[in-house]
């Protein structure tokens, strides 16, 4: 269950609807960006917390508002493909094809940075991550601001990424001046992050899958830390990997196996938790719903359409966290979009995994 600390608000956080007033909202937001202030805005993946990506002082405010460690670099968001030229020293050979195919969309590409990118954005690295979002409001905001917008997800550091304006308000009320409300995010998980420095390597899986990338540019590696906790002494390919992520206050347990095995083990864990005086709740799937009659559960989506699970995971974790102190969440095979789902779920669970296909 959630516990929020009281704090003195610095701003009266305003929410503007992009559906009713996109033009007015993006004009007001662009003025704030140009003045070195922060704005939360919708993208097709999750909500971003943006600042002028060429202004070091503005970018520093992002880390303060989120409580983000300063060694975790940000993504620069651009409104047209050619804007990448000012941010990268040169365009890597596979990049043009990737940009032509997947931009605008949920793919972030990493290459050597140019001198105009402040160290505050890249956390001192000599590479920079760039993405051109598909969301129309996001692109209107970037165009009107006239600068690339540096933006992480608009959550307090460590919390699940926000997929509605209300989630952003829950985390950042009083800490930022403006949220543009564009409704629920289409994908619900953050973009795929692909490094083009050396062998193409996925540092964070997302809706653009390894299979889709490999079909276009040949072999694509997947960073080892995607489904495993970082080992002590290991250096993170992507600094974001080493932090506790997406974690509700409730204890999260991921249960793996086929639908029937999974449901049976989930029910056993549920009863045990209740007997111990806990309040468990189940993150279920269409396939297992019939097993959970009379129990507290939410259906995330269909196991055969992993994108439906991706779209509701973060939102469901936030909701369940309001009611439950234990979340029993079903895992799926880590293939195609299932890889992104399992990457986020395992982190939310602090790698507490139970394999229901094994006895005991």
163 forms part of the interface with Mg ion (CB under 5 A): no
The span from the CA of 128 to the CA of 117, in Å, is: 8
Of 146-154, 212-220, 305-313, 337-345, the segment contacting ligand TXA by CB under 6 A is: 146-154
Identify which of residues 25 and 105 has a Cβ nearer to ligand TXA in the complex. Answer: 105
Of 4-12, 163-171, 221-229, 232-240, the segment contacting ligand TXA by CB under 6 A is: 232-240
Site for ligand TXA in 186-215 (CB under 6 A): 190-191, 193, 203-204
Shortest spacing between CB 104 and ligand TXA, in angstroms? 11
Q: Is 351 left (phi over 0), alpha (psi -120 to 50) or beta?
A: left
Q: What CA–CA distances, in Å, run from 334 to 61, 166, 222, 298, 306?
A: 36, 30, 12, 21, 10
The span from the CA of 315 to the CA of 308, in Å, is: 12
Q: Which residue is nearest to ligand TXA (CB)?
A: 240
- 129 binding partner (options Mg ion, ligand TXA, none; Cβ < 5 to 8 Å by kind): ligand TXA
The span from the CA of 281 to the CA of 327, in Å, is: 5
- 73 binding partner (options Mg ion, ligand TXA, none; Cβ < 5 to 8 Å by kind): ligand TXA
Q: Figure out which of the listed residues 25, 42, 48, 259 binds ligand TXA, where binding follows CB under 6 A.
A: 48
140 forms part of the interface with ligand TXA (CB under 6 A): no
Q: Figure out which of the listed residues 105, 118, 182, 240 binds ligand TXA, where binding follows CB under 6 A.
A: 240
Q: Figure out which of the listed residues 33, 39, 46, 298 binds ligand TXA, where binding follows CB under 6 A.
A: 46
Shortest spacing between CB 112 and ligand TXA, in angstroms? 10
Identify which of residues 55 and 191 has a Cβ nearer to ligand TXA in the complex. Answer: 191
- 193 binding partner (options Mg ion, ligand TXA, none; Cβ < 5 to 8 Å by kind): ligand TXA
My answer on whether omega of the bond before 255 falls inside 30° of 0, hence cis, is: no
Shortest spacing between CB 312 and ligand TXA, in angstroms? 16
Spatial contact of 25 and 185, defined as CB atoms under 8 Å apart: no
129 forms part of the interface with ligand TXA (CB under 6 A): yes
108 forms part of the interface with ligand TXA (CB under 6 A): yes
178 forms part of the interface with ligand TXA (CB under 6 A): no
Which x/- pattern over 115-154 shows residues binding Mg ion (rule: CB under 5 A)?
A: -------------------------------------xx-
127 forms part of the interface with ligand TXA (CB under 6 A): yes
Output 190-193 pairs: Cβ under 8 A, ≥24 positions apart: 190/45, 190/46, 190/106, 190/153, 190/161, 191/45, 191/75, 191/106, 191/107, 191/108, 191/131, 192/106, 192/107, 192/108, 192/340, 193/75, 193/108, 193/110, 193/129, 193/238
Phi, psi at 233, each rounded to 5°: 85, -15
Q: Figure out which of the listed residues 135, 137, 201, 238 binds ligand TXA, where binding follows CB under 6 A.
A: 238
- 160 binding partner (options ligand TXA, Mg ion, none; Cβ < 5 to 8 Å by kind): none
Shortest spacing between CB 309 and ligand TXA, in angstroms? 17
CB atoms within 10 A of CB 194: 27
61 forms part of the interface with ligand TXA (CB under 6 A): no
Count Cβ neighbours within 10 Å for each residue of 218-253 and write b for 16 or more, e otherwise: eebbbbebbbeeeeeeeeebbbbbbbebbbbebbbb
The span from the CA of 163 to the CA of 157, in Å, is: 15
- 131 binding partner (options Mg ion, ligand TXA, none; Cβ < 5 to 8 Å by kind): ligand TXA
| SS3 per residue for 225-269 | HHCCCCCCCCCCCCHHHHCCCCCCCCEEEEEECCHHHHHHHHHHH
What is the binding site for Mg ion (CB under 5 A)? Answer: 152-153
């Amino acid at each position: 269950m959630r516990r929020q600390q009281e704090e003195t608000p610095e701003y009266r956080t305003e929410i503007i609807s992009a559906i009713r007033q996109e033009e007015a909202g993006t004009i007001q937001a662009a003025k704030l960006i140009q003045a070195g202030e922060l704005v939360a805005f919708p993208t097709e993946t999750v909500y971003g917390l943006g600042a002028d990506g060429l202004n070091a002082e503005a970018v520093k405010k992002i880390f303060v508002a989120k409580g983000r460690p300063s060694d975790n670099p940000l993504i620069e968001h651009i409104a047209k493909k050619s804007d990448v030229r000012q941010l990268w020293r040169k365009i890597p050979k596979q990049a043009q094809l990737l940009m032509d195919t997947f931009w605008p969309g949920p793919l972030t590409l990493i290459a050597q940075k140019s001198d105009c990118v402040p160290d505050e954005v890249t956390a001192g690295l000599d590479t920079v991550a760039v993405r051109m979002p598909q969301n129309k409001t996001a692109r209107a905001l970037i165009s009107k601001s006239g600068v690339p917008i540096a933006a992480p997800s608009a959550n307090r550091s460590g919390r699940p990424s926000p997929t509605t304006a209300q989630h952003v308000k829950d985390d950042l009320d009083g800490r930022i001046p403006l949220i543009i409300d564009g409704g629920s995010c289409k994908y619900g998980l953050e973009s795929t992050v692909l490094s083009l420095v050396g062998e193409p390597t996925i540092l964070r899986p997302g809706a653009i899958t390894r299979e889709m990338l490999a079909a276009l540019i040949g072999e694509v590696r997947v960073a080892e830390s995607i489904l495993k906790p970082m080992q002590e002494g290991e250096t993170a390919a992507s600094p974001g990997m080493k932090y506790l992520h997406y974690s509700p206050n409730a204890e999260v347990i991921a249960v793996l196996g086929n639908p029937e095995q999974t449901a049976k083990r989930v029910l056993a864990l549920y009863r045990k938790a209740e007997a111990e005086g806990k309040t468990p709740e189940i993150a279920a799937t269409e396939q297992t719903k019939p097993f959970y009659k009379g129990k507290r559960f939410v259906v995330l989506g269909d196991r055969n359409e992993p994108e439906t699970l991706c779209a509701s995971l973060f939102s469901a974790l936030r909701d369940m966290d309001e009611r439950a102190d234990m979340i029993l969440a079903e895992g799926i095979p880590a293939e195609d979009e299932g890889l992104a789902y399992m990457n986020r779920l395992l982190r939310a669970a602090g790698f507490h995994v139970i394999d229901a296909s094994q006895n005991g």
